[in-house]
Structure 1
Amino acid sequence: MSFTSRLSPRRLSSRRRTLAAASTAVVLAVTLAACGSSKDSDSSMPGMDHGSKPSASASSAGMNHDHGSMPGMDHGSMGDGLADTKDGYKLTSTATELPAGKETAYKFRIAGPDGKPVTAFAVDQTKRMHFYAVRADLTGFQHLHPSMADDGTWTADLAALEPGTWRTYASFTPDNGPGKGADFVLSRTVTVPGDAEKTPLPQATTSTEVDGYTVTVKGVLMAGMAHPATVSIGKDGKPVTDLQPYLDTYAHLTAFHEGDQAFAHLHPETKVEGDHGGPDLSFQAMLPKAGNWRMFLQFQTGGKLHTAALTLNVS
């Protein structure tokens, strides 16, 4: 007679509930991946479109490796990125309004639990700070790597912004203090004055085109659960096999939730082996909320950075 069969019905039921809870915790612990800084801009998609404009040129990336993130996953400790404060760390900026229609510098700091500016940041995906900006209707996506002054002030050089309410996100990992090694995404809103015309979110789809490339997403995504997903990249009807490393991986995927602009961040599990990545990139994707998510997939070929945008529905 097995150990399980000797248990009373009540104890057996309790044991099964405990095992089920443990299994669920393991699944839900599998989450997405963060970022970290430098001076270069990796992508900007200014204006009213939802990602159809030509991509920006890629700047050279360093070869530092991240501090231990699991490929294809997001760090669950980052949360949804909708607060400016977490665990005593705070994103601060004197800028509440930015000009429309021209390049502008956005300055900010990260204050630690002691109230002092943080100046020590760990390198994550070759950078110490990843900065994002997106308008409330999820247009105008920009992904930058700002520069930091000695006093802890970061400067993000934003491309021209259209009128409306924008949310800016700082993704970083402190390299000392109580938050050392923890991943954070903090955000603030800023107003760009003028007549703001809302652009409707494009319908959900599994395929899009950018710069002559076709990007296709395969996989069923469910809120709060890790699911395998594959991104395939082709051109002129042929599989692409010349993807170059970008931030120590073959692709960078940033996602924003329709309505509240919740943030998520994924990287492929696919091993990087020189300048011949593709056509298929594997992800373990977990998005925390149901609904429509606007995805921005960045990949590099021939020294040029491409940014593909599409809407995915998560059930």
Structure 2
Amino acid sequence: MFATSSSAVPRRVLAAVGTAAAFMLTLAACGSSGDSSMSGMDHSTTKSSSSASATPSATNMPGMDHMADGNGLADAKDGYRLTSQDTTLPADKQAAYRFTITGRHGKPVSDFAADQTKRMHFYAIRSDLTGFQHIHPAMAADGTWTADLSALAPGSWRMFTSFTPDSGSGKGKALVLSRTLSVAGAEEKTPLPVAASSAEVDGYTVTLKGQPMAGMAHPLTVTVTKDGKPVTDLEPYLNTYAHLTAFHEGDTAFAHLHPRTKVGGGHGGPDLSFNAELPTSGNWRLFLQFQTGGTLHTAALTLKVG
């Protein structure tokens, strides 16, 4: 560090230097910006099968998808609104959740851009962060989407929609909107597992490296092994080798941890890189989805963010 006198450097030069420095700090803080129908899973996780693998695309490589703005806890943002007549759903059986995204004039939006190969990502999470489901719903001609949910446990749930309009005032802007609903029956909450750096699912071990700080971009690395050996047969899923989503304990705030590992061929692994920018401190429940042999696996672990 060095000092300069106001007489030696014109004030407008100092102002320009300050502006440039602020711009560089802003750049440094910015990070790069599933069809799976998950069965209702508890903290021990389950798996479901996927019939098709994503095909790599040069125009939508991992790390290049749009970063969603906000924590997803509102049903409206920037003139777009998530609407649904469904406020309750039955317990312990498959159910359909129907919803619409409306624009500034209250009319259904039907023009959406593909993000990681899908026009709509839909997530269901119970208030205690169990029961995670990640679905890619179908849209009817009138703009109504239908998400076919696996059996839901009784309690309070939040339904998230993640999308990017492909026309109108919000064209190219990634948005996450959500609504809550109730599933009838006696709710039995499950305590959140303690923070851990690894988790087991279907014979695989996923290990997380990295310690994000709240509100700061930070890299995370996930390593997948089986029987102590590196896994190198990860198949492309949603144009990457793994999909990582996080939800905050207490308010179920949403965060999509953006993949940085590019799809370079038919198989990948064992190391996968993500860009994490978790806005608040506390415990976050992470759900990592990866595919091998045409089967989709979901591992869950708790990450404590300072």
**Distance of aligned partners of 1:74 and 1:9 in 2 relative to their CA distance in 1, 3 Å threshold:** farther
Q: Is residue 24 of structure 2 the alignment partner of residue 29 of structure 1?
A: no
Counterpart position of 2:40:
46
Residues 164 and 192 in structure 1, CA contact (< 8 A), matched pair in contact too = yes
Give 1:206's match in structure 2, choosing from 197, 203, 216.
197
For structure 2, list consecutive stretches of 5 or more residues without a partner in the other structure: none
Q: Secondary structure at the match of 1:44?
A: coil
Matches within 5 A, 1:137-216: 137-216=128-207
Contact 2:60–2:239, Cα closer than 8 Å, also in 1: no
Deviations 1:156-197 (A, max 9, x none): 000000110000001111111111111111000000011001
Task: Please tell me whether the aligned partners of residues 64 and 123 of structure 1 are also in contact (alpha carbons under 8 angstroms).
Answer: no
User: For residues 230 and 188 of structure 1, what CA distance do their matches in structure 2 show?
Assistant: 31
Question: For the residues of structure 1 that align with 2:255 and 2:196, how far apart are their CA atoms?
Answer: 18
Matched to 2:219, the amino acid is: P
Q: 1:55 aligns with which of 39, 47, 51?
A: 47
Q: Cα deviation per residue 1:202-256 (whole Å; 9 max; x = unaligned)?
A: 0001100100000000012111111122100000010000000001100000100
**Cα root mean square deviation, aligned:** 2.5
CA separation in 2, counterparts of 1:180 and 1:223?
Answer: 29
Deviations 1:125-150 (A, max 9, x none): 11111100000000000000000100
Is residue 2:86 matched to residue 1:95?
Answer: yes
TM-score, length of structure 1 as denominator length: 0.89
**Distance in 1 separating the partners of 2:189 and 2:28:** 38
* 1:260-293 alpha-carbon deviations (Å, 9 max, x no partner): 1110112321121223200101122211111110
Following superposition, the deviation at residue 29 of structure 1 comes to 2.6
Equivalent runs, 1:127-146 vs 2, <5 Å: 127-146=118-137
Farther off after superposition, 57-66 or 226-235: 57-66
Within a 5 Å distance, the mapping from 1:285-300 to structure 2 comes to 285-300=276-291
Instruction: Give distance in 1, aligned partners of 2:64 and 2:195.
Output: 22
**More moved, 211-220 vs 3-12:** 3-12
**Map of 1:211-226 to 2, 5 A cutoff?**
211-226=202-217
Change (3 A) 1:30 1:167: same
Question: 1:172 and 1:66 mapped to 2: Cα distance?
Answer: 20
Aligned length: 303
Quick check: 1:251–1:297 contact (8 Å CA) kept in 2? yes
Partner of 2:218: 227
Quote the Cα distance in structure 2 between the aligned partners of 1:96 and 1:66: 40
1-structure distance, mates of 2:210, 2:65: 16
The sequence identity of aligned pairs, in percent, is 62
Q: Does structure 1 conserve the Cα–Cα contact (< 8 Å) formed by 2:62 and 2:240?
A: no
For the residue of structure 2 that corresponds to 1:297, the secondary structure is strand
Residue 117 of structure 1: aligned partner = 108
Match in the other structure for 2:270: 279
Match of 1:267 among 252, 258, 270: 258
User: How many Å separate the matches in 2 of 1:9 and 1:174?
Assistant: 51
Find the partner of 1:256 among 236, 247, 257: 247
Give how far 1:25 is off. Answer: 1.7
For residues 73 and 121 of structure 1, the distance between their equivalents in structure 2, rounded to whole angstroms, comes to 14
